[in-house]
Amino acid sequence: MTRNDPGYAARAIEDLPTVWEGFAKLVGAGLDITAFGANIMDLPPDYATSSHDESATGQQELYVALRGSGAVVIEGEAHPLDAGHLVSVCAGTSRVLTSGPEGLRVLCVGGVPGGVYERPEWAATAAGSR
């Protein structure tokens, strides 16, 4: 990692710490970002995550496709997620992320509206791992 405190941090995506056997890359922990949460998930082809919401954390989330395509499914409606589309989801809204036939690399950015972001323990603990 290149670091020039307090000015910037730069790191290759493949060099970020990971969790879940490499499924998620910890952008926030890897770049020492504390103002908001940021992770990259690599979904394999034709994959769907479990339905979840962020009501426990209060986080709003933004999903940005970095490679491939897929959708964010909310209440049965698939919202495209690709180079031309973004999706944001409020904390209490359940969502499922899906990937298309080529898979999906997605940047997930989260924060608490009007609040202070606190990195979850699973991300803080894994920050030193790869």
Q: What is the CATH number of the domain that holds 75?
A: 2.60.120.10
Residue 23 is assigned to a structural domain of this protein? no
Q: What is the pLDDT of residue 129?
A: 44
SS3 label, residue 83: coil
Domain count, the chain: 1
Determine the average pLDDT of the residues in 20-24. Answer: 87
Residue 31 is assigned to a structural domain of this protein? no
- Split at pLDDT 50, 70, 90, the class of 122 is low
Pick 34 or 60 by higher pLDDT.
60
In the DSSP assignment, the letter for residue 123 is H
Q: What is the pLDDT of residue 3?
A: 55
Range of the domain at 93: 41-114
Residues 64, 115: contact at Cβ < 8 Å? no
Longest dimension (CA), the chain: 45
Residue 76 is assigned to a structural domain of this protein? yes
21-35, 41-55, 115-129: range with highest mean pLDDT:
41-55
Residue 29 is assigned to a structural domain of this protein? no
Residue with tokens 């944001």: 88
Distance CA 15, CA 30 (A): 8
Distance CA 53, CA 93 (A): 6
E strand residue ranges, the chain: 2-4, 8-10, 18-19, 24-26, 37-43, 60-74, 77-81, 86-89, 96-111
Of 2-11, 32-41, 90-99, the one with minimum mean pLDDT is: 2-11
Q: What is the pTM of this model?
A: 0.87
Residue 77 is assigned to a structural domain of this protein? yes
Taking only the tens place, the pLDDT of each residue in 58-79 is 999 999 999 999 999 999 999 9
Q: What is the pLDDT of residue 6?
A: 67
